[in-house]
Amino acid sequence: MCGIVGFTGRQQAAPILLDGLEKLEYRGYDSAGIAVAQEGAAGYGGAARGAQSGSRQTAGAARPEAQGERPEGSGAGSTEPSIEIVKAKGRLKVLREMTDDGRSVPGTCGIGHTRWATHGEPSVVNSHPHYAKNKRVAVVHNGIIENYQEIRDRLTKEGFSFLSETDTESVAHLLDKYYAGNPIEAISKVMFRVRGSYALGILFADRPGEIYAVRKDSPLIVGRSDQGNFIASDVPAILKYTRDVCFIPNLEIVKLTAAEIHFYNVDQEEVEETFSAINWDTEAAEKGGFAHFMLKEIYEQPKAVRDTVSPRISEGHVNLEELGMSREELAKVSRIQMVACGSAYHVCMTAKYMVEQTARVPVDVDLASEFRYRNPVMEKDTLVVVVSQSGETADSLAALREAKKLGYRVLGIVNVVGSSIAREADSVFYTWAGPEISVATTKAYSTQLAAVYLLAIGLGRAKGVIGEAAEKEMTAELLRLPEKIERILEEKERIQWFANKFSHSKDIFFIGRGLDYASSLEGSLKLKEISYIHSEAYAAGELKHGTISLIEDGILVVGVATQKSLFEKLISNMVEVKSRGAYVLGVTSYGNYSMEDVANYTIYVPKTMECFAASLTVVPLQLLAYYVALGKGLDVDKPRNLAKSVTVE
C-alpha cells in the first residue's frame, strides 16, 4: 500500500525519484526514502557532499525520528561502488529538504519509496529503503511477507543483524545471503523462500546502473524512454517521462539498465513481454487549478461517465462484444456473484437491484475479504463479477483466483488497463475514468455504476426480459446522465453552505431504501473517510430495530428518497428521527416537493429513470463530504490511515 519508483538512465536519478514519489502521495504514506547507486563518490566531489550531509544530520540530531537520516558511510568519500540511502519520517517535503530536492545525492540509478506502516511504527529506522549486510544490497518493498519472522529468526542465528521491525529487512538480508554475483539467481531463490505479496525494487552495489524488480500479487510497472528506464507502483509516477509501459506479469523478474529491459521467469529463463501506450493526458494527473484532486475528479464525472457509456451504445443498443461472450452465452447466465471492497462493494449493491429488475437474474453480493474464505456454493452457470478501480485490490484479486479455481467464468470491471484483475479475468469491462488520484473515489465509482447499468441492460436483452423499445429508452437516458450530473454541480454552493453548518458534527446517519440505501452506503463512506466523522448508513426500515436509540437533539440524518414506490415509507422514517430531535437533510428528485414538509433542508437532483438514480444522488453526497472535510481543515486528498490501492489483506 506504498509507492515505489526507480530510474536508471542518463539524468540524475534523485530528482526524478522525488518527483515520482510526489505523484504517488495519494496512495498514503508515513515516511519516505531514496537509494542511489554510486560508482565511487570521489568523482562527484565527496567533500562538498559530506558538508551538506553533515548540516542535515545536525538539523535532525536532537530529534532524529522527526526528521530523517543519511546512514553513516553510505557513500561520501568512497571510491568503491556504493549505495547511498537517505530517508525521513513524515511528508515528502522533509526528504526534499534533506537532499536539496535530490541535488545532493548524485547518481543516475536509484530507487525510491513512500511507506505505509504495516510492520513497525512509522519511523526513520522502519522506513524504506533497507540495506542488507555490508550495505551491498538495498531494497524497497510493497506488500507483506507473511513468513518474515521465520526468516528473521533463521538469519539471526546465521549472524545477520536487524535494525528495523519491518518484514522488508528480512528480504534484504535474504538477498544478501544468496547473492554470489548473479542477481537473477539470488532473486529467484528468495522467491521460493518467501510467502506473501510483494513488489520489490532492488539495487546491488557491485552492479551500478542496474535496477532489479520482481512482483507477486502487488502492482509494479516498467516504463521505457530515450532518457532511461523506470519502475513504479502506478502510472502517474512516470507519466511525465514516458507513456510506454509494461505491467509486469506475476512472478516475473525484471532487469533494467539505462538502455535495456529484460524479463525473466522464476526459473531464470528470459521471456518476452509487450509494452502498451498510456493515453492519459499528462494534465489528467494534475490538479488543473482545483484546490484538491477530489474536487477536480468530482467535476470530471460527466466526462468519465460519457467516455464509459458512449462507445458501448450504438443506435440505441448496448454492445458488449468486448466481454467475449455471445448473446447466447449471456442468456445462459443463471446467477451473478458480485465481489468487491469499499466503494466498489456499494456499486455491487446498486447492481443487485438493477440486474434483478432488468434481467431477472438473481445476484449475490459479497465483500471480497469474506467471499474468499467462506467456501461459496454457486450454480454451474454463475458469472462472477469482480469490481476494482485499480485492478490490484488484494482481497478482490484473491477472490477472482478462488472463483477461477472453482471453475467459474470471471468478469473484471476495472479502470486500469493491464492490471492484475484485467489480465487474470476471463473478460474485462474497462471504465474509462482516467487517473484517479484522490484516495476517496468519485469518478471511478460513477463509471463503475455506468458499467453495471450497461451489463444489466445487455443481460436483460439477451434473456428477453426487456424488448428493443425498452433498451432504446434506457440507453437514451444513460446518454443524458452526464448532462444531469453537470446540472447538480452547478448547485454546489447550496451544498457547501449546508456542509459548513455541520462540519463539527460527531455523528451523522444516512438512511434510504432499495437503490437509495446503496447510495446511502456510499455517501456515509465518503463522509467518514475524509472528514473522520463517525457515520453510518442504514436501510431505513431497520432504524427501529435498535439504531433509533442513537438519535438525539441536533444529530444530522440524511435521507435519500428517489424511488416512487418507497418514497412515502422513507418520509415516515424521516418523521421518526425528526420527532426525536434529528436535523434532517433530504436528497430527492425534482418534483418530490413534499420532502420539504419533513426535511429541514432539501437537495434536489434532476429526474431520471429510477434505476439510474444512484448516479445522481451520489454527487451531492460526494460534495457534502468534501465540504465538511474542507470546513474542518483536513487533507482531503490524503486522509489519515488510508491508501488508494489496498494491496495487502
Same structural domain, 478 and 537: no
Domain limit, last residue, from 223, 255, 279: 279
pLDDT digits (tens, 9 = 90+) for 294-319: 999 999 999 999 999 999 999 999 99
Start-to-end CA span in the chain (Å): 10
Domain limit, last residue, from 434, 458, 490: 490
pLDDT attached to residue 466? 96
Amino acid at 371: F
> What band does 460 get if pLDDT is binned at 50, 70 and 90?
very high
Same structural domain, 482 and 496: no
Question: Around Cβ 615, how many Cβ atoms within 10 Å?
Answer: 25
pLDDT attached to residue 17? 96
**Nearest-10 Cα torsion for 566, 568, 569, 574:** 120
pLDDT at 47 over 50: no
**3-class DSSP state for residue 603?**
strand
User: Nine-digit cell at 646?
Assistant: 489496498
pLDDT averaged over every residue in the chain:
88
Same structural domain, 361 and 233: no
Least confident of 27-36, 82-91, 318-327: 27-36
Candidates 82, 19, 117, 106; CA nearest to 643 is: 117
Q: What is the CATH number of the domain that holds 263?
A: 3.60.20.10
> What band does 41 get if pLDDT is binned at 50, 70 and 90?
very low
Same structural domain, 436 and 583: no
pLDDT digits (tens, 9 = 90+) for 472-508: 999 999 999 999 999 999 989 999 999 988 888 899 9
Taking the whole predicted model, whether its pTM rises above 0.85 is answered as no
Same structural domain, 451 and 496: no
Same structural domain, 296 and 331: yes
Same structural domain, 72 and 26: yes
Element (H, E) at 616: helix 614-631
Residues 358-369 have a mean pLDDT of: 95
Q: What is the CATH number of the domain that holds 356?
A: 3.40.50.10490
**3-class DSSP state for residue 15?**
helix
pLDDT at 525 over 70: yes
**How many domains in the chain?**
3
Domain limit, last residue, from 279, 309, 325: 279
> 93: domain range?
3-279
pLDDT digits (tens, 9 = 90+) for 193-239: 999 889 999 999 999 999 999 998 888 999 999 999 999 988 888 98
d(CA 130, CA 302): 44
pLDDT digits (tens, 9 = 90+) for 306-354: 999 999 999 999 999 999 998 999 999 999 999 999 999 999 999 999 9
DSSP conformation letters of 159-222: T----SS-SHHHHHHHHHHH-SS-HHHHHHHHHHH--EEEEEEEEETTSTT-EEEEEEBS--EE
Least confident of 116-120, 218-222, 532-536: 116-120
DSSP conformation letters of 537-551: EEEGGGTTTTGGGG-
Same structural domain, 535 and 485: no
> What band does 644 get if pLDDT is binned at 50, 70 and 90?
low
Least confident of 254-258, 367-371, 580-584, 644-648: 644-648
pLDDT attached to residue 280? 67
Same structural domain, 238 and 144: yes
Q: Are 161 and 181 spatial neighbours (Cβ–Cβ below 8 Å)?
A: no
Candidates 24, 150, 17; CA nearest to 84 is: 17
Residues 20-27 have a mean pLDDT of: 81
Q: Are 570 and 559 spatial neighbours (Cβ–Cβ below 8 Å)?
A: yes
Same structural domain, 394 and 272: no
pLDDT attached to residue 79? 55
Same structural domain, 269 and 406: no
Same structural domain, 383 and 273: no
pLDDT attached to residue 61? 29
Share of the chain above pLDDT 70, in %: 90
Residues known to be catalytic: 2, 644
d(CA 116, CA 124): 12
